Structure 1
């Protein structure tokens, strides 16, 4: 399975990014109930990068988009120095009808590092999009070390 086959990797390497929003666990815990807005120009993508120091936690997200759909992906990058080719695609790029219903998902953090939530609008040549997103962090109830590998 060659990294060249992954549209997510190609996007990160050669796509045009509109916004990069760095988030920490502390930042997410202070999110409150409201949604935040992410702007994505036509033919571009935007990302939320979540810096995870520990494993065992679960990142949950919900988002909606307007106008029209958006593509969503999650990739894992071990550190800021890790080349894009060595990032791991956790959730392949999926076109979401997030303009019609709120999309929800979650991911268990198995390794420390950067978890990059990609909102891709590169398929849209003329229409810029807004994504309204909300993230939450759930810590494991009992920590016994078994979640880390």
Structure 2
């Protein structure tokens, strides 16, 4: 007898290997312009001045932040010129683990960061590497310049 419309759990597992997050696919097969890694301590010493990140047309750049323990809050501000940029955040617990084990925390989203400053924050729930992705792969001819600022807040511990 043939059954239709019923997938076994084995079939579902096979599907998940084929379907991959756009963010992970980009990190694996996209063309990278720059990687600017930070430790949590380096972010805490960031200072007031924004930094600049360059993203070539059809490419992406990343800012991996290594976080040794949970509890901190990472915040960011950024703007882009001359046009929009896509932004997302992924987390990988094992720094040398496969990219496929990364978890998408903020899916890549096109931001009008050329018109307004984009800000956001993330509560660190697990140690590992939190990678901020600035994606310009949708733009075939125009390179982008991103001004960004990062801060970190330590958890408040009450006795």
For 1:48 and 1:116, how far apart are their aligned partners in 2?
6
For 1:102 and 1:93, how far apart are their aligned partners in 2?
17
Runs (4+) of structure 1 exceeding 6 A deviation are none
1:96-111 residue pairs with structure 2 within 5 A?
96-111=111-126
Q: Alpha carbon RMSD of aligned pairs, Å?
A: 1.4
Work out which of the residue numbers 1, 7, 16 in structure 2 matches 1:2: 16
More strand by share: 1
TM-score by length of 2: 0.87
For 2:158 and 2:122, how far apart are their aligned partners in 1?
17
Structure 2 unaligned blocks of 5 or more: 1-14
Which structure has the greater CA radius of gyration? 2
Name the structure 2 match of 1:76.
Answer: 91
- Per the TM alignment, residue 65 of structure 1 is displaced from its structure 2 partner at its CA by 0.3
1:23-102 residue pairs with structure 2 within 5 A?
23-102=38-117
Structure 1 unaligned blocks of 5 or more: 145-149
